[in-house]
Amino acid sequence: MFAIDKDSERATSIEDYQQTCVQFIEDISNDYKDWVNRYKLPEDEHKFRMEMIDYIVKNTNLWIIKYGDTIKKIDIIKDDGLNKMAGFTAGYPFKFHIY
């Protein structure tokens, strides 16, 4: 599962994979923020979306470190964070009422 040689780009331990994913979440959040900036939203909506992206990054990374003790768990947490950031970047154009 992990790389054996030291020249490999693959993770060498769970901790290494956690750090790789934490850095990935932080890096990609900047791309999501760039998209929010392109939308030219009203100031309050813009601020809300940026704050939510920061909140999701913080919580996702916390969960990766705290609960991600296997690659599968780390991937699930990471993917959930990515989906949530995408949702707050694009917004929710439709409101569904469940009766």
Q: Which residue has the higher pLDDT, 91 or 75?
A: 75
pTM above 0.85, yes or no: no
Under 8 Å between Cβ of 29 and 85 = yes
Digit-coded pLDDT (tens) for 34-53: 999 999 999 999 999 999 99
Percent of the chain with pLDDT over 70: 86
Domain boundaries, the chain: 14-90
Digit-coded pLDDT (tens) for 7-33: 557 778 999 999 999 999 999 999 999
